[in-house]
A and B are shown apart, each in its own frame.
Chain A
Amino acid sequence: MSKIGLIIGREYFTRVKKKSFLVMTILVPLLMVGFYAGILAIAMKGGTDKQTIAVIDDAGLFKDSSAFEKSERFSFTLVQNETEESFVPKYKDQGYNSFLYIPKFSLDSPKGFILHSPSSASLTTTSRLENVINASVENQRMIAKGIDPETYKEISADVSVQNTLDTKEGSKKSVAGVAYGMSFACGMLIYLMMIIYGTQVMRGVTEEKTNRIAEVVVSSVKPFDLMMGKIIGIGAVGLTQFLIWALLIGIGQAFLPSVMSQNMEGVSATMASGLDALPLGKILVSFIFYFLAGYLMYASLFAAVGSVVSEDQQEAQQLMFPILMPIIIGFVIMVQAVNEPNSTMAVVGSIFPLTSPVVMMGRITYDIPLWQMLLSMTLLLVTFFFFTWVTAKIYRTGILMYGKKPTWKEMLKWGFRKS
């Protein structure tokens, strides 16, 4: 026991002491936050930019409609005494972003609207323009049918439904976006961690094999201890990283509100009430369980692959592929499960042990039947023990073999023979 502790210690400290660990742990989240902040800033700035659009209005839509003037995104200018053909070469020089041509049309089937622009207009621009035109067409139709637009405005309604969860602790306001984001983030994190740390285990094992230190070490400790020591040590590095991130988020939450502007406060209040509605304890416990069990299960597979390959990176990639496959499939199912948590695929994916760590996270903010949860966890643990038992034997043979790469058949034979 003390020996496996020594190995865990070495694996852990050589990684944590590296500068790249600090960089990865602190710089990467900062970069990501900066990245999203940048996107947000750009998106918000884009909102204040008004597009200037020249309009030739053969239908007279513009005259009796107030919709055009009310638009926030566009500033329309009505062009007189020009035809579509004659104005096309000119609008750019006169300083317009684009040029909208409204032909004469019948109210029954309005069509033939054309937007001229030097480069292709964005989807949002065209759909907003369509909204504007639709509103005025509807307006005209109302007048044609003898309905007063003002009366229509008075009778039209715009309600919103507030989702309230009835839990044992009382009613809570649920915010769909927050639950969605939480599920997705947890699944994504487990997905990334399994791949990143799994590959690290593989590389560590290959390093020991190609450095030829493996035989020196297994003459002192059991190969199983060396393998598990490495897997646990690297897993501990992952947990340390989580801890640091949790601390950073905590610090961020303490300081951010004072920095945030007034209108952002509303958003964070919604976020907070959304978070409050989630079963955070259950999420945290399941997250840690699925991360650990999923990581341990895949890490043993990665270790087995690492033990049979040599320096050749391509070899490693080939052998890694069948292991990465179920993780990636899990991710794909997870993305779907976030939207449809009770679809057959999501349920099966969250119980099947190779995909369950990632997929279950996609469903975690929803109410999952207890039997599914228990079945999923049991299967995952059983698979983990089974894989460890098989891969430990492949590993034992693999790390002492040099020369040619064994085939899958040979590896399976090692894995299932009696020791």
Chain B
Amino acid sequence: MNLLEISHLHKQFATQKAVNDMNFSIEKGSIFGLLGPNGAGKTTLLRMITGIFYPDSGEIMFEGRHFDALKDTANIGYMPEERGLYKKMKIGEQAVYLCRLKGMKKEEATRRVKEWFVKLEMQSWWDKKVEDLSKGMSQKLQFVTTVAHGPSLIILDEPFSGLDPVNANLIKDEIFNLAKNGSTIIFSTHRMEQVEEICDHIVLMNKGEKILDGTVGEIKNNFKENLFRLGASVLPEQLTTYIFEVIQHSPDELILKINEDSTPNEVLQYFINKNVRINSFQEIMPSLNEIFIKLVHGTSAARQFLNK
């Protein structure tokens, strides 16, 4: 079942289209990656999903019903990119306050916050003030305030910025745990490498429009260029064939592009026949970053061309 379905969503600001005809759906319990460069319209899209902005047109379905900002915010936890806390307020009090704003009873909110504090080893912080915390610590607190009220949809905008690797891993593990327990997570970032290991499904945005939609595997498959890395010492005169082209040749490594009609097996067969000792043979998959740069450059180049 899809937790969230977005169809034909539009949002326009005075001069520019921030989000243009956005469509996608997110399966319950999955980790969804929303990618795009700065200014792609990710934050605007997320603000519509959290009810901060109203879309100009289009529809948001949440848990199979029309999204109702007032009622549904209780089921959404949002950690914006521009985030912060009341500096002078005590940490425990603050977390409980933010939970209660989501509609929780005081006792229940206190219990939940305490549970999370134990889980992330921050019990001793309860009476401290935010201004006494380091950036990493307040980042952890921010995460707790986002998830403590038990939302079914958790939206994290650049959750790892400012976190050291240890704390980033701690949060990453908690994100996996939350997904395992049935929460759905939207993870928005412009750092592609973070997405590859976490997300099941991604959507890539640029200039307000969706330019990619699919699982990480699918997308990589679609964009692969039949490049392979062969670990072997090969002599140049051994490389005259119609099966592949050589892209790069170094003493103990060869990067080659297999021609369309050929298969990796034929490549291996070829080298075996030549009596070459093969140490490794591996397909080179494009990274999301490369795909992203390729696509984004493509569109802006195309636009520039059209504008002329």
Q: Would you call B80 and A3 a contact (CB within 8 A)? A: no
Given contacts A14-B89, A219-B50, A220-B101, A402 and B82 within 8 Å (CB-CB): yes
B281 interface hit (Cβ, 8 Å): no
Q: Would you call A14 and B88 a contact (CB within 8 A)? A: yes
Q: Would you call A219 and B51 a contact (CB within 8 A)? A: yes
* A221–B102 alpha-carbon span in the complex (Å): 8
Contact surface of A with B, Cβ cutoff 8 Å: 2-3, 6-7, 10, 14, 207-208, 211-213, 215-223, 400, 402, 413, 419
Q: Would you call B52 and A213 a contact (CB within 8 A)? A: no
B184 interface hit (Cβ, 8 Å): no
Q: Would you call B97 and A216 a contact (CB within 8 A)? A: no
Q: What's the nearest-Cβ distance from chain B to residue A389, in Å?
A: 17
Q: Would you call A219 and B88 a contact (CB within 8 A)? A: no
Ranked nearest first, the 5 interchain pairs of A and B with the lowest CB-CB distance are A212-B84, A211-B84, A219-B78, A220-B101, A215-B80
Max count, chain A CB within 10 A of own CB: residue among B47, B50, B84: B84
Given contacts A213-B84, A213-B86, could you give 6 more A-B pairs where the C-beta distance is less than 8 Å? Answer: A14-B88, A208-B86, A211-B84, A219-B73, A220-B101, A419-B54
Using Cβ atoms and an 8 Å threshold, which residues of chain A touch B285?
A: none
B256 interface hit (Cβ, 8 Å): no
28 A-B residue pairs with CB within 8 Å:
A3-B101, A14-B89, A207-B87, A211-B84, A211-B86, A213-B85, A213-B86, A215-B52, A215-B80, A215-B83, A216-B79, A216-B80, A216-B83, A216-B84, A216-B85, A216-B98, A216-B142, A218-B52, A219-B51, A219-B73, A219-B76, A220-B98, A221-B73, A221-B101, A400-B47, A400-B52, A402-B82, A413-B14
* A233–B212 alpha-carbon span in the complex (Å): 47
Q: Would you call A212 and B82 a contact (CB within 8 A)? A: yes
Choice from B50, B52, B83, B103 contacting A212 with Cβ under 8 Å:
B83
* A222–B101 alpha-carbon span in the complex (Å): 11
Max count, chain A CB within 10 A of own CB: residue among B86, B89, B102: B86
Given contacts A212-B84, A215-B52, A220 and B89 within 8 Å (CB-CB): no
Given contacts A211-B86, A215-B52, A219-B50, A10 and B97 within 8 Å (CB-CB): yes
B145 interface hit (Cβ, 8 Å): yes
Q: What's the nearest-Cβ distance from chain B to residue A416, in Å?
A: 13
* A191–B88 alpha-carbon span in the complex (Å): 29
Question: Which residues 46-85 of B have a CB within 8 angstroms of A?
Answer: 47, 50-52, 54, 70, 73, 76, 78-80, 82-85
Max count, chain A CB within 10 A of own CB: residue among B50, B52, B83, B89: B52
Using Cβ atoms and an 8 Å threshold, which residues of chain A touch B97?
A: 6, 10
Question: Which residues 79-131 of B have a CB within 8 angstroms of A?
Answer: 79-80, 82-89, 97-98, 100-103
> Across the two chains, which residue of chain A brings its CB closest to B130?
A211
Q: What's the nearest-Cβ distance from chain B to residue A241, in Å?
A: 20
> Across the two chains, which residue of chain B brings its CB closest to A402?
B82
| Secondary structure type dominating chain B contacts | loop
* A3–B104 alpha-carbon span in the complex (Å): 10
* A215–B80 alpha-carbon span in the complex (Å): 7
* A419–B53 alpha-carbon span in the complex (Å): 10
Contact surface of B with A, Cβ cutoff 8 Å: 14, 47, 50-52, 54, 70, 73, 76, 78-80, 82-89, 97-98, 100-103, 142, 145
Using Cβ atoms and an 8 Å threshold, which residues of chain B touch A208?
A: 86
* A143–B52 alpha-carbon span in the complex (Å): 93
* A6–B109 alpha-carbon span in the complex (Å): 14
Using Cβ atoms and an 8 Å threshold, which residues of chain A touch B79?
A: 216
* A7–B51 alpha-carbon span in the complex (Å): 19
* A213–B98 alpha-carbon span in the complex (Å): 10
* A400–B84 alpha-carbon span in the complex (Å): 13
Q: Would you call A219 and B80 a contact (CB within 8 A)? A: yes
Using Cβ atoms and an 8 Å threshold, which residues of chain A touch B78?
A: 215-216, 219
* A260–B103 alpha-carbon span in the complex (Å): 57
Q: What's the nearest-Cβ distance from chain A to residue B82, in Å?
A: 5
* A2–B223 alpha-carbon span in the complex (Å): 52
* A237–B98 alpha-carbon span in the complex (Å): 22
Q: What's the nearest-Cβ distance from chain A to residue B288, in Å?
A: 27
Q: Would you call A217 and B88 a contact (CB within 8 A)? A: no
Choice from A211, A217, A413 contacting B87 with Cβ under 8 Å:
A211
* A216–B115 alpha-carbon span in the complex (Å): 21
* A351–B118 alpha-carbon span in the complex (Å): 60
Q: What's the nearest-Cβ distance from chain A to residue B147, in Å?
A: 13
Q: What's the nearest-Cβ distance from chain B to residue A195, in Å?
A: 23
Q: What's the nearest-Cβ distance from chain B to residue A155, in Å?
A: 75
> Across the two chains, which residue of chain B brings its CB closest to A413?
B14
Q: Would you call B102 and A215 a contact (CB within 8 A)? A: no
Q: What's the nearest-Cβ distance from chain B to residue A415, in Å?
A: 14
Q: Would you call A216 and B145 a contact (CB within 8 A)? A: yes
* A219–B77 alpha-carbon span in the complex (Å): 8
Q: What's the nearest-Cβ distance from chain A to residue B276, in Å?
A: 59
* A93–B152 alpha-carbon span in the complex (Å): 94
Q: What's the nearest-Cβ distance from chain B to residue A412, in Å?
A: 13
Using Cβ atoms and an 8 Å threshold, which residues of chain A touch B73?
A: 219-221
> Across the two chains, which residue of chain A brings its CB closest to B82?
A212
* A356–B103 alpha-carbon span in the complex (Å): 40
